Amino acid sequence: MVNGVVFPQNSVSVTVDDEGKVVGYNLQWDDTLTFPAPGKTITAQQAEEQFKKQAAPELQYILPYNAKNITVPMITYQMNPFTLDAVSGEVVLPNGSKQAGQPQWIPVSDKPLAEPPSAPLKLTKEQAVERAVSLLPIPKEAKLENAAYRENTDPASGRPPRCGSRSGRRGTAAVKDLAFRRP
């Protein structure tokens, strides 16, 4: 607790076995932080109203992660996580930025742009950018901001995932994520 407010990032956890012996501990504490006084904050009721107002659930199909014997996608409501600034009541995203001015994700298409490859393409960053630009309506002035490569498989089947995702991508055994930003 700091100024009567919980600060979960500073914590101590202790693991005790069935005989009462301490078998492990973890100390995560930062004494260098300076905390502002809480000051005047919105009420819990105002925060509840703001959460209800700002919540944006989206209808999505999902295959639950590590689900046993579930092979049919479930229809669910999901929403992006956010917190509220306790003083202003504004939405704060997990990275600490305010929601205002954040780009909205817009699907490029409601249909697959191409058939997924039957095997990983093992593209270089340059080849992935070239392919993305040829398949997607990326504005000419957009600049590549990030590129990442990962391989994945569906834990239930051991095969590459074949379902759509929130971003509209279709899963494959190897994925090169590219992020473009307009200047």
The pLDDT value recorded for residue 179 is 63
The pLDDT value recorded for residue 16 is 92
Q: Is-contact 92 84, C-beta < 8 A? A: yes
Cβ atoms < 10 Å from Cβ of 177: 13
Q: What is the pTM of this model?
A: 0.48
Grouped pLDDT means (10 residues each) for the chain, 183 residues: 88 90 90 88 94 89 78 87 90 79 64 73 79 78 74 62 43 51 57
